[in-house]
């Protein structure tokens, strides 16, 4: 949904990502859905020394003013915003984007959860706009949008040259209006068109189930602002149940707040154990996020986590920490691989820059953004399984827990 936003520690993990809840697509992952932090730009910082030749820029500027028949409809300030967008585009990073005033307001509204849309998170996979996951009980979910669906067109607009945020702007819209997505799904020969009516998006968080075979199931749909508290309640319910077998289902969970992922990992790790590392390359030293040391479980705990291509960002942080520390086994399919960290910068009082500043590494140093997480027990769900309402991933997890 992306890193997570950081005002007080505002991570969207790219959540936030990614991350951000966007158009009913959210980007999710630290009390920050995918953006790392908010900083300001001083006047002093605008004076940058450079050897670049700006004469081509001014020639284009003047030529536009002299020759374009539409130039009277575009203010000089809008031209500056367009130039900044092009500058950010030179990074060739789908998660770095400049927001002009109207876009910045919409983006902030979405972070706050005040949005309508269709309820899914998208990302770039092999330079193709791809669904990370639809959110439960949203228009996208009910329209049978699947993780991994490649979005070829949004209404009549081809997506091949769109950034993620440009795509989000086209997909979101007023409640009751319709958007048509042309998607290509692996295993099918031809693209399909899916019409979806936009609605207000209420992001689900968590369900629990105590199975007759003594397995306690937590289905976590997102790492929202209140998910750590809800997870705490689920842990109490698990302990009170007397069970020792825990199944955490992170399938289709596109992420959210980094702080929530760290807090959840702390239930299973000793104080000080690494949960995730933010690698800033040569820019500065890495930042390590460590367990808070709740660590209430003994060696008797049997723990399996379900993941798939819709598990991203904070989901990958939590699952990767459990896998690398030998706490849980992962069952399912390869996760999405959304492991870049964005920072949200206030450029002016009403414009924003979202820029990638780091990558997330699991405790063993694996880069989440390279290829995602590999399950200990790879299990795919075929179309035949879906048609027969069979869940071989869940069945495998139950088998392991009941051994």
Mind telling me the catalytic residues? 313, 324, 338
- Nearest Cα to 229, choosing from 247, 210, 206, 246? 206
**Alpha carbon distance 171, 255 (integer Å):** 20
- Nearest Cα to 386, choosing from 182, 198, 185? 185
**Alpha carbon distance 224, 158 (integer Å):** 32
**Alpha carbon distance 313, 342 (integer Å):** 12
- 3-class state of residue 35 by DSSP: strand
Q: State the DSSP string of 115-126.
A: -EE--EEEEEET
- Nearest Cα to 218, choosing from 305, 108, 124? 305
- Nearest Cα to 248, choosing from 268, 274, 229, 273? 268
- Nearest Cα to 172, choosing from 142, 148, 196? 196
- Nearest Cα to 128, choosing from 100, 104, 163? 163
- Nearest Cα to 252, choosing from 208, 301, 211, 203? 203
**Alpha carbon distance 341, 19 (integer Å):** 9
The CA-based angle 125-145-376, given to 5 degrees, is 60
**Alpha carbon distance 49, 363 (integer Å):** 39
- 3-class state of residue 199 by DSSP: strand
Q: Are 34 and 22 in contact, with CB atoms under 8 Å apart?
A: no
The CA-based angle 359-356-225, given to 5 degrees, is 80
**Widest pairwise Cα distance in the chain:** 77
Q: 51 is written with which tokens?
A: 């050897």
Backbone φ, ψ for residue 369 (5° rounding): -75, -15
Q: Are 221 and 138 in contact, with CB atoms under 8 Å apart?
A: no
């Amino acid at each position: 949904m992306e890193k997570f936003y950081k005002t007080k520690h505002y991570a969207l993990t790219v959540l936030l990502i990614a991350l951000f809840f966007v158009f009913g697509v959210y980007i999710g992952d630290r009390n920050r859905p995918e953006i790392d932090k908010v900083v300001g730009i001083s006047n002093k910082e605008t004076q940058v020394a450079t050897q670049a030749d700006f004469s081509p820029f001014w020639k284009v500027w003047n030529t536009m003013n002299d020759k374009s028949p539409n130039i009277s409809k575009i203010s000089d300030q809008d031209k500056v915003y367009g130039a900044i967008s092009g500058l950010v585009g030179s990074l060739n990073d789908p998660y770095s984007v400049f927001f002009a005033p109207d876009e910045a307001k919409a983006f902030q509204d979405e972070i706050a959860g005040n949005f309508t849309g269709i309820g899914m998170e998208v990302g770039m996979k092999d330079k193709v706009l791809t669904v990370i996951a639809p959110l439960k009980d949203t228009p996208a979910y009910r329209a049978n949008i699947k993780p991994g669906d490649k979005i070829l067109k949004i209404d009549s607009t081809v997506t091949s040259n769109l950034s993620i945020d440009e795509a989000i702007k086209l997909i979101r819209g007023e409640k009751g209006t319709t958007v048509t997505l042309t998607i290509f799904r692996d295993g099918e020969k031809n693209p399909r068109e899916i019409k979806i009516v936009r609605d207000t998006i209420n992001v689900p968080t968590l369900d629990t189930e105590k199975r007759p075979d003594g397995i306690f199931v937590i289905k976590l749909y997102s790492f929202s602002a209140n998910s750590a508290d809800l997870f705490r309640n689920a842990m109490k319910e698990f302990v009170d149940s007397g069970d020792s077998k825990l199944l955490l289902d992170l399938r289709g969970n596109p992420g959210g707040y980094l702080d929530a992922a760290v807090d959840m990992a702390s239930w299973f790790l000793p104080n000080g154990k690494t949960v995730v590392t933010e690698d800033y390359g040569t820019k500065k030293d890495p930042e390590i996020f460590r367990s808070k040391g709740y660590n209430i479980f003994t060696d008797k705990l049997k723990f399996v986590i379900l993941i798939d291509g819709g598990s991203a960002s904070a989901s990958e942080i939590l699952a990767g920490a459990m896998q690398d520390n030998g706490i849980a086994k992962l069952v399912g399919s390869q996760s999405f691989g959304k492991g870049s960290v964005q920072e949200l910068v206030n450029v002016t009082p009403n414009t924003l820059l979202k820029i990638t500043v780091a990558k997330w590494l699991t405790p063993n140093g694996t880069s989440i953004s390279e290829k995602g997480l590999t399950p200990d027990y790879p299990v795919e769900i075929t179309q035949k399984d879906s048609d027969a309402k069979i869940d071989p991933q869940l069945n495998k997890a139950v088998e392991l827990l009941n051994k």
